[in-house]
Amino acid sequence: MSTEEFDPSRWDGRDLPYIPGEFSDPDGVALHDDYDADIDPVTYEVVRHSLWNINREAGETIQNLAVSPIALITRDFQTGILTESAEFVFFGQYLQYFSGTMDIFTKWIMENRAEDPGIEPGDMFLHNDPTVGTPHQPDVALVAPVFHEEKVFAWVSNLIHQNDVGGTVPGSFCPNAVDTYWDPPSIPPIKIVEGGEISTEKEDLYRRQSRTPQNLSMDLRAGIAANERAKGRIEELIEKYGATTVKGVMRRLNDSGQESIKETLSKIPDGTWRERAYQERSMTGDDGVYPLELTLTKEGDELTFSNEGTSEQAGAINQPFAAWRGTILSAANVLLQPEQMGATGGLVRQLNFRPEPRTITAPDHTAAVSPSGIYSNQVSLSMANSVISKMMLSSQDEEIRNGAMTPTSAQWQCHIGDGFTDDGEYFLAPMTNCMMGSTGATPKRDGRFANGHMWIPEARGPNTEEYEQSWPILYLYVKEHGDTGGAGERRGGNGGKICYTMHGGEMELGVYTTDAIPKTPGLFGGYPGSRGETVVLQDSDVKDRFAAGELPTDITEIDGENVETVGKGPAIELDDDGITEWWWAGCSGYGDPAHRDPELVATDVRQGGVTVETAESVYGVVLTDDGDVDGEATESRREALFEQRLDEATTVDDIVAGDEAVEAGGGD
C-alpha cells in the first residue's frame, strides 16, 4: 500500500475513515504533559489501581442509570480513560472492541474541534459517526476532557449501545440498507454539554429520528453521569497525590505495557499468518458471497495487520475501519496481555494497521454500516483471534502457546422485533440471549457453553423473566445446543438455542440471523464452530399443547407451517400461534478430533454436549449401550477414519489438473 493512501488529507473521517497521523499538540488548547518519572512502588500501585477502579465506577454508573434493555440488562457499553494526547490508560471490563475506537475519535476532536467550537472545562462531545470512529451508528460515544490548571490532563469516554437511533428498520440494524442514507443519521462530534449544561437544541437533534427518544435522553444522562463521575474521581486523585505523580503513573503504565509486549514478541519468530472468512448476502434480496482477508505480519517487535484481498464495500455488511481496528485490539488485549488489566496504551504503540480503502472492513462514508454489530464485527474479531493465536502457537515458549485460544463465534446471532402490547404501548425488543455465549478451546482445555464471550468479560445474559415482563412473549426453553461447538482434541464450547411464542400483543421480527456458511475456523485440525439459524412456525398447535398441560422442550415436537428464513431476509410478522426458535453459534475446536481422549468423548455424550452419532462419525469413539467406551471398536473406527481421509485427500497435482481441465473446457 502506498504512503499516499495514509495521507491525513485523505484519511480524515469525512470521505475515507479517520486514521490519526503523527500526533501534534492541537491549536487552541493546552495539554498537561508534565510528569514525575521517579515514583515509589507503593504509590505507583495505589494510583494504578485507583485509575482502574475509577474506570470501573464509570461503568457501574451506567449500569445503575441506563434504561435501554441492551445496555441495562446485557451491559452492551464500554468505558475508558485516556491521556492528554489520547493514548489509552485503561480499557473497561465491558465490550472490548468499543474501546478500540476511543483514541481515534478523541484525536479527531482535538484536530477538528479545538479552535471551533473549542475545548473547555465542563464540555462533553457526543458522536455516532462511524467514519470518524464508532462501531456503527447505534453505538453512541461521549468524551470529555479532564482539566488541571487550565490544561487538558486526560480524557474520559464511554460508548453505549442505544435501542434505536433511526434508520429504515426498528432497532437501527438495517439489513435492507443500500447505502448510508438508509442507515440512521451519523452525527460527527458535537458539543452536547457546554460548561456543564446539556444543549437542548443538540439533544433535540439527537433524539429526532429515534423511535424511542425517551430512552436516548435517559441513556444520554447515564453516559454524562459516568463521565462526570470519572472526571471527579481523577480530580480527587490529582489533589491527593499531585498531578505529576498521577501523570507519571499513566506514563509508566504505557511504558511498562510496551516493554511487556516487546518481551512477549521477542519469544515469537517473525512471520506472516492469514485468515479468510466469507460474508454472505450483502443485504436483503442479495445472494452474493464476499471474501474477507486478514493478514498479520510480525517483524521484530511490531505487528502489522492488513485487510488486503477483502471484497469491495457491498450492501449492508460493511464494517467501519474503527470497528475493524477495535476488534483486533480487543483480541490482542485479551490474548497477548491479559495481565495488564486493560492497560493497552503500550500495546497499541506496537501495532500498525494497513487497510485497503473502500473495502468491507474499511469503507468510505457512503457505505451502509448500521448492521455491523451483528454481521461484521464478530467476524473480524474471530479472524483476529485466529491469526493472533496462530502466531502464539508458533512460539517455543509454553506459556505463550498455552495462552492461544480457538476463535470465538464469528456472528452475533440475535433477534430484534417491535410492535404493540395489548394496551397499545409501543415496544422495541432487542433479544440478546446470545450474550450467554461460549468460549473457544485452548491447547490445554475445552471451551465451555454459557460462560460469556472472551471479548466482553462483564456482560451478562438476560433473564427470561425480564424479557417476558417487557414484551408480549413467552419462552418455551433456553438451553445448550449440542454438537455446535467445533470438534477437536480440545472441543469448542457449544452454542445455545431459545424458543418463544407470542403472549398477547403483536410483533414484527425485523432483524434475525440465519447463516449458510460457518465462519469460525478451527485451529490445527479442529473443526469450525457452528452457524446460527432462525426457525419460524406459523399457525402452530402450541396453544393446544398448553391447554393440555404440555410444555414442548423442542421445536420438533410442535406442528405448524414452516416460514422460510434467509440471512438478512425481509421482516416476518409473528402470529399469535407462532413459534420462533433461534440459535447462537458455538466456538471452534483445537487439534484433530480423532486424537481426543475417548473417555472425554464419553463424558461429553453423557452430559449432552455431543451426540452418540457425532462421537462415532467425527471423534471415532464407539460407545457401549451403557455409555462406556468400547476400546476395540474405537481403535478400529479411528483406523478406518484415517484411511478414509487418505483416500479422499486432494494433492497439489489434483488441484493443478483440475484447473487445467477447467481452462481447456472454457468453464469456470
Is residue 134, in this structure, part of any structural domain at all? yes
Asked if pLDDT for residue 1 goes beyond 50, the answer is: no
What confidence score (pLDDT) does residue 2 get? 38
Calculate mean pLDDT across residues 454-473: 90
- Residue 403 near residue 364, CB atoms below 8 Å: no
Report residue 509 as a C-alpha cell.
421480527
Average pLDDT value for the chain: 94
Question: How many angstroms separate the CA atoms of 286 and 637, rounded?
Answer: 43
**CB neighbours of residue 596 within 10 Å:** 24
Asked if pLDDT for residue 289 goes beyond 90, the answer is: yes
Q: Which residue has the higher pLDDT, 341 or 405?
A: 405
Asked if pLDDT for residue 162 goes beyond 50, the answer is: yes
What are 472-508's pLDDT values in tens digits? 999 999 999 999 999 999 999 999 999 999 999 999 9
Same domain, 506 and 612: no
Give CA separation, 175 vs 25, 254, 571, in Å. Answer: 41, 40, 10
What confidence score (pLDDT) does residue 309 get? 97
Residue that finishes a domain, picked among 224, 258, 292: 258
Q: Which residue has the higher pLDDT, 665 or 548?
A: 548
Residue that finishes a domain, picked among 566, 596, 626: 596
Is residue 64, in this structure, part of any structural domain at all? yes
What are 226-266's pLDDT values in tens digits? 999 999 999 999 999 999 999 999 999 999 999 999 999 99
Asked if pLDDT for residue 418 goes beyond 80, the answer is: yes
Label residue 621 by pLDDT band (50, 70, 90): very high
Same domain, 571 and 601: no
Report residue 445 as a C-alpha cell.
482445555
What confidence score (pLDDT) does residue 69 get? 86
Element (H, E) at 250: helix 243-266
What are 111-159's pLDDT values in tens digits? 999 999 999 999 999 999 999 999 999 999 999 999 999 999 999 999 9
What are 561-591's pLDDT values in tens digits? 999 999 999 999 999 999 999 999 999 999 9
Same domain, 411 and 496: yes
Question: How many angstroms separate the CA atoms of 549 and 555, rounded?
Answer: 17
Label residue 644 by pLDDT band (50, 70, 90): very high
Element (H, E) at 573: strand 572-574
* Percent of the chain at pLDDT exceeding 90: 88
Same domain, 646 and 588: no
Asked if pLDDT for residue 47 goes beyond 90, the answer is: yes
Looking at residue 244, its amino acid is T
Report residue 215 as a C-alpha cell.
430512552
Residues 440, 446, 452, 454: what is their CA dihedral angle, to the nearest 10 degrees? -40
Question: How many angstroms separate the CA atoms of 341 and 334, rounded?
Answer: 9
Is residue 8, in this structure, part of any structural domain at all? no
* Percent of the chain at pLDDT exceeding 70: 97
Question: How many angstroms separate the CA atoms of 567 and 487, rounded?
Answer: 25
What are 54-105's pLDDT values in tens digits? 999 999 999 999 998 888 888 999 999 999 999 999 989 999 999 889 999 9
Looking at residue 566, its amino acid is V
What confidence score (pLDDT) does residue 4 get? 45
Instruction: Give the residue numbers spanning the domain of 90.
Output: 40-258
Asked if pLDDT for residue 106 goes beyond 60, the answer is: yes
Same domain, 519 and 616: no
DSSP letters along 466-534, please?
HHHHHSSEEEEEEEEETT-SPPSSBPPPPEEEEEEEE-SSEEEEEE----SS-----BTTPPPP----E
Same domain, 587 and 606: no
Cβ-count burial 427-466 (b if 16+ within 10 Å, e if not): bbbbbbbbbbbbbbbbbeebbbbbebbbbbeebebbebee
Same domain, 448 and 584: yes
- Residue 500 near residue 580, CB atoms below 8 Å: yes
What are 421-433's pLDDT values in tens digits? 999 999 999 999 9
Same domain, 621 and 567: no
Long-range Cβ contact pairs of 612-621 (< 8 A, separation 24 or more): 614/483, 614/487, 618/487, 618/527, 618/593, 619/487, 619/593, 619/594, 620/593, 620/594, 621/596
Calculate mean pLDDT across residues 597-615: 97
Dihedral of alpha carbons 105, 107, 110, 111, sign = negative
573 alpha carbon, distance to own chain's centre: 29
Label residue 653 by pLDDT band (50, 70, 90): confident
Question: How many angstroms separate the CA atoms of 593 and 525, rounded?
Answer: 8
- Residue 331 near residue 350, CB atoms below 8 Å: no
Same domain, 562 and 613: no
Same domain, 587 and 602: no
Looking at residue 180, its amino acid is T
Is residue 332, in this structure, part of any structural domain at all? no
Cβ-Cβ contacts under 8 Å for 2 (sequence gap 6 or more): none
Is residue 445, in this structure, part of any structural domain at all? yes
Dihedral of alpha carbons 453, 456, 459, 463, sign = negative
Cis previous bond, 117, omega within 30: yes
For the chain, helix (H) and strand (E) counts, in that order, are 18, 20
Tally of domains within the chain: 3
Give CA separation, 446 vs 65, 443, 485, 511, 523, in Å. Answer: 37, 8, 10, 32, 13
Is residue 251, in this structure, part of any structural domain at all? yes
Coil, strand or helix at 139: strand
- Residue 284 near residue 174, CB atoms below 8 Å: no
- Residue 93 near residue 318, CB atoms below 8 Å: no
What confidence score (pLDDT) does residue 665 get? 65
Question: How many angstroms separate the CA atoms of 599 and 578, rounded?
Answer: 42
Q: Among 234, 278, 247, 198, which Cα is nearest to 518's?
A: 278
What confidence score (pLDDT) does residue 132 get? 97
Q: Which residue has the cell 483471534?
A: 385
Same domain, 545 and 420: yes
What confidence score (pLDDT) does residue 252 get? 97
Residue that finishes a domain, picked among 239, 258, 277: 258
Question: How many angstroms separate the CA atoms of 630 and 601, rounded?
Answer: 12
What confidence score (pLDDT) does residue 431 get? 93
Specify the DSSP class assigned to residue 357. T
Sheet with 572-574, edge to edge strand ranges = 426-431, 415-420, 506-511, 572-574
User: Does the predicted model carry a pTM greater than 0.85?
Assistant: yes
Same domain, 580 and 613: no
Question: How many angstroms separate the CA atoms of 163 and 165, rounded?
Answer: 7
Is residue 29, in this structure, part of any structural domain at all? no
Is residue 279, in this structure, part of any structural domain at all? no
Helix axes 243-266, 213-241, angle to 10 degrees: 100
Calculate mean pLDDT across residues 528-540: 94
What confidence score (pLDDT) does residue 8 get? 60
